Amino acid sequence: MQRGLNPFLTFLFATLIVLFTGGPVILSLIGSVVPDRILLDSSKALFSEGLNFETYRYVFTGQLPDSYLAETANRAMISDAARQVPQSLLNSGIIAFSSMVLNLLIGAPAAYVFARYVFPGKKLTFMFLILSPLVPAVALVTPVYIMLQTLGLVGTQAGIILVHTAKALPFTVLILSVFFRKMPAEIFEAAVLDHCSRFQTFWRIALPLALPSIGATGLFAFMLSYSEYMFSMVLSGDAATRPVSVVMAALARNTDVSWSLLNTAIFIAIVPTLVLVVFVWRFVVEGLLSGAVKG
């Protein structure tokens, strides 16, 4: 067997992956800084008028782009929904962060118990947990809505946080329990001999060792919540509590929408996740690498 991959093939696949993942991001970035009249006019070069940040100005301040101040301009192209983007980013941040924290608070101990202890009903409950994501979300919308309505949580962020936590929890528990199970049993036995209680063994030994995995699963829970649309749409209330996925959908639903404005909103919505991935991912990779070096 030849070790390593053919560099040409590696490059080819890397390029394809970048094209499909990074491509849309780049396109939306370009689209956001070029005004509509140039975007839609194939006779003009893309950057013939330089960079234009008017749509950004509109999103954050509400001041209309100059070209739409003209009498003849179609005012409907500048959708009001775009004005909700900054607030919705904050809302999504709060929801996704809370859902991530809840996931780790509940998921990490649960995964630890599944990985290290034997208790009645362990197999059944684990199976239930792992199979639950197989139920199509659409089928759950109505029952979940009714449940949250009884609890008085429809139209609140708390309701969305709960649903997102529940959606990500099976993955958190599965990934973390695999990681906890891989830890050598002797370390935990040593901890028992070193006067650790069950909780202390979890808190002082298992958790610090699992930090890279916890970072990864936390990030996963965050992004799952950040991009979730259906439950967010059904359960969210007025503009003040609406998450970004719902606002983006509303924006895209406007068939007349200004391309430039739409791209601006898309790019603004991507930025927080990009920042998060860059920071958390480095930590996760470092952690995984240091854990891998043993002997």
Partner 1 sequence: MASVELKNVAKSFGRVEAVRDVSLTVEDRELVVFVGPSGCGKSTLLRMIAGLEEITSGELMIGGKPMNAVAAADRGIAMVFQSYALYPHMTVAENMGFALKMLGTEKAEIDRKVAEAAGVLQIEELLGRKPRELSGGQRQRVAIGRAIVRQPDVFLFDEPLSNLDAGLRAQMRVEIARLHERLRTTMIYVTHDQVEAMTLADRIVILNRGRIEQQGSPLELYEKPANRFVAGFLGQPKMNFIPTIAGRSQAGTTLAIAVSGRTVLKLGEGVPVTDGSEIELGVRPDTISIAGPLADLAVPGRIVVVEHLGGSSLLYVQVDGLDQLLTVEQRGKADFAKGQEINLLFDTGQSHLFDGGGSRIGSG
Only one of the segments 48-56, 143-151, 186-194, 259-267 lies at the binding site for partner 1 (rule: CB under 8 A); that segment is 186-194
Nearer to partner 1, 87 or 200 (CB): 200
120 versus 184: smaller Cβ distance to partner 1: 184
260 within 8 A of 32, measured Cβ to Cβ: yes
Q: DSSP assignment, residue 194?
A: T
Q: By rule CB under 8 A, what string of x and - marks binding of each residue 195-224 to partner 1?
A: xx---x----x--xx---------------
C-alpha dihedral (211, 216, 217, 219), degrees to nearest 10: 120
- Give the one residue of 19, 178, 192, 289 binding partner 1; rule: CB under 8 A: 192
φ/ψ of residue 23, rounded to 5: -50, -55
Quick one: angle between helices 244-253 and 207-227, nearest 10?
Answer: 30
Q: Is 190 in the site for partner 1 (CB under 8 A)?
A: yes
Query: Nearer to partner 1 by C-beta: 136 or 208?
Result: 208
For the bound state, the minimum distance from the C-beta of residue 187 to partner 1, rounded and expressed in Å, comes to: 5
Of 70, 18, 14, 90, nearest in space to 247 by CA: 90
Residues 224 to 253 in contact with partner 1, rule: CB under 8 A = none
Q: Is the dihedral of CA 109, 111, 116, 122 positive or negative?
A: positive
Rounded least distance, CB 198 to partner 1, Å: 12
C-beta of 9 vs 118, nearer to partner 1: 118
Q: Does 120 bind partner 1 (CB under 8 A)?
A: no
Q: Find tokens 């990681």 and name the residue.
A: 179
Per CB under 8 A, which region of 112-120, 145-153, 179-187, 213-221 contacts partner 1?
Answer: 179-187
Whose structure tokens read 């860059």? Answer: 278
Cα 35 to the chain's mean position, in Å?
A: 29
Please state the closest distance from residue 191 (CB atom) to partner 1, in A.
8
- Is residue 293 close enough to count as binding partner 1 by CB under 8 A? yes
Among 184, 238, 255, 278, binds partner 1 (CB under 8 A): 184
**C-beta closer to partner 1: residue 46 or 192:** 192
Q: For residues 147 and 89, what is the distance between their CA atoms, to the nearest angstrom?
A: 27
For the chain, how big is the Rg over CA atoms in Å?
24
Which region, judged by CB under 8 A, interacts with partner 1, from 61-69, 121-129, 191-199, 269-277? 191-199
Contacts with 154 (C-beta within 8 Å, 6 or more apart), sequence order: 145, 148, 235, 237
CB of 231 within 8 A of CB of 163? yes
Residue 237 corresponds to which tokens in the numbers above? 């209330």
Count of residues near partner 1 by CB under 8 A: 20
Tell me, what amino acid is at 108? A
66, 80, 189, 286: which one contacts partner 1 (CB under 8 A)?
189
Q: Which residues bind partner 1 (CB under 8 A)?
A: 184, 186-187, 189-196, 200, 205, 208-209, 290-291, 293-295
